[in-house]
Each structure stands twice: as C-alpha cells, then as structure tokens.
Amino acid sequence: MPNDVKTNGVEPRNESVMNLAGQLVRLMILVMVLLTALLVVSMLFDAPLGAKANPGHPINPAKAPWYFLGLQELVSYSAFIGGIVVPTLIVIVLLLIPYIDRKPVGIGVWFAKGRWIQNIFFGLCVLAMIVLIIIGMYFRGEYWNFILPWAN
C-alpha cells in the first residue's frame, strides 16, 4: 500500500482506503440535509425586524442576540469586568490552550481518560456560558431586572 501521507514521525495504522467518491457523497448528503433544514426553518420563521431606529426612544431591555447574552449578563454586574476583562481573558486562554496543554495524551479521542481535568475545566466553562445565556434570555426584563419567564 503506498503511503505518502505526512505522518509526523508516527507509523500510521495501515487501514488506508482510497474512496474519494464515498467521501464526496457523504459530504454532499450532509450539506443537502443542512440546506433543506435551513430552508424549512426560513420558510416557517421570519427574521426579526422591529420598528425603525429612533435615537429618541430607547427600548428596554435592549437585548443582544442570544450568543452575546452571556456577556451582556456579565456586563450587568460590571461593565469593566464583564465587558472587557472576562472576554479578553477568554480569548487569551483560548489562544494559549495548545501551548499549555502539550502532553501527547488522548489526541483524537473523545473524552480521553488521561485528559479528564482539562475536559472538566472546559466543560464547566461552556456550561457557565450556557447558564448565563439562558438567564439573559429568559430571566431578564426591564432594566435587566430578574423576572420569571412564566410569571407574566
């Protein structure tokens, strides 16, 4: 079996199969399912469009799109910490991750046992962000006051 893949000094397992057509077909199926789903969603739901911008009439609360609501929730505690410090730290830590955690353990394996500390750390960060987003989405009303979504 010819083996011209650059393997970075690692003996590859020899399960090499050339199956371009198969790969392409699988890609195409994935993309078509995705397109169909997006089309259906776009036929059923309209993108939001409010009244025309009016600098004289603030809306209350002015909520960001869902993916920024975690940060907006943090900003409501402190604009400096939530809006500047935390985002900057997140980006710096993200950029440094591969240079800090270099031990060749569990590469290419889902939830490898040897990496449980890293996985729990990252998982908790993701969970925290999701919880903040949910709070921002459903539990915040006028003046960013706490509300219960079901008590209307």
Partner 1 sequence: MGTTDKKSKNAAPKNGGHVIMDLPKNIYRSVIREKTTLRDQSESEPVSDNFFVHVLPVSPLEHPRFGYTLGLGVISMSLFLIVAATGMLMLFYYVPSTEQAYERIVDLNATVSFGRIVRNIHRWGAHGMVAAVFLHMCRVFFTGAYKPPREFSWVIGVFLFLVTLVFSYTGYLLTWDQLAYWGTTVGTSIAGYTPILGDTIQFLMLGGTTVGQETLLRFYVLHVFVLPLLMVTLLGLHFWRIRKDGGLAYQNGNERD
Could you say which residues in the range 20-79 bind partner 1, by CB under 8 A? 20, 22-24, 26-27, 30-31, 34-35, 38-39, 41-43, 45-55, 57-59, 62-68, 72, 75, 79
The smaller minimum CB distance to partner 1, of residues 52 and 150, is found at 52
Q: Which residues contact 50 (CB under 8 A, 6 or more apart)?
A: 59
Q: Which residues contact 39 (CB under 8 A, 6 or more apart)?
A: none
Q: Is 148 in the site for partner 1 (CB under 8 A)?
A: no
How many whole angstroms separate alpha carbon 131 and alpha carbon 105? Answer: 30
In angstroms, what CA-CA distances link 141 with 12, 53, 59, 75, 144? 56, 21, 11, 15, 5
Q: Which residues contact 5 (CB under 8 A, 6 or more apart)?
A: 12, 16
* Min dist. Cβ of residue 15 to partner 1 (A): 5
The smaller minimum CB distance to partner 1, of residues 47 and 148, is found at 47
Which tokens is 126 given? Answer: 């993701």
Residue carrying structure tokens 């240079």: 99
Site for partner 1 in 93-132 (CB under 8 A): 94-95, 97-99, 101-112, 114-115, 118-119, 122-123, 126
Q: Choose, by CB under 8 A, the member of 25, 36, 77, 84 that binds partner 1.
A: 84
The smaller minimum CB distance to partner 1, of residues 13 and 148, is found at 13
* Min dist. Cβ of residue 140 to partner 1 (A): 13
Q: Is 11 in the site for partner 1 (CB under 8 A)?
A: yes
Binding residues for partner 1, how many (CB under 8 A)?
84
Q: Are 123 and 43 in contact (CB under 8 A)?
A: no
* Min dist. Cβ of residue 145 to partner 1 (A): 16
